[in-house]
Amino acid sequence: MGLLNDGDRVYVENEKLNELRTHSDRFEGLCGFGGFEDLDDSFDVMLTIGGDGTLLKSIGYIRDLEIPVLGINSGRLGFWLQLIRITCKRWCNNCGNVRTKLWSAR
């Protein structure tokens, strides 16, 4: 069983999505978003892959929508993402059947 169920959609930041599509047609089925105005509180989670800057940028996208953010550090240091790592296991255990809909990458 994967993260996605039938009917689920994955949204990727437009800039990153365009870059991914230049490398492979596997990304054609993904949806894009340009900013806060494209999002609403129907999203289950925002997954960010990058460093502290990417995490802070994702928080700017969701603002007060109360979408939980899961950050995966692919940077060299990541002060904020180190704090998230401590609680990640507990967060994942509490997720249940949360379906991932949004991915923001650097």
- Does the pLDDT of residue 98 top 80, yes or no? no
pLDDT at 39: 92
Of 6, 41, 44, 52, which residue is the catalytic one?
A: 52
- What confidence tier does 77 reach under pLDDT thresholds 50, 70, 90? low
Strands (E), 1-106: 11-13, 31-33, 46-50, 69-73, 102-105
| pTM, to two decimals | 0.66
Triad 28, 33, 38: Cα angle to 5°: 140
Per the annotation, the verdict on 52 as an active-site residue is: yes
- Does the pLDDT of residue 104 top 60, yes or no? no
pLDDT in tens, 44-63: 888 888 887 888 888 889 88
Which are the contacts of 7, defined by CB distance < 8 A and separation ≥ 6? none
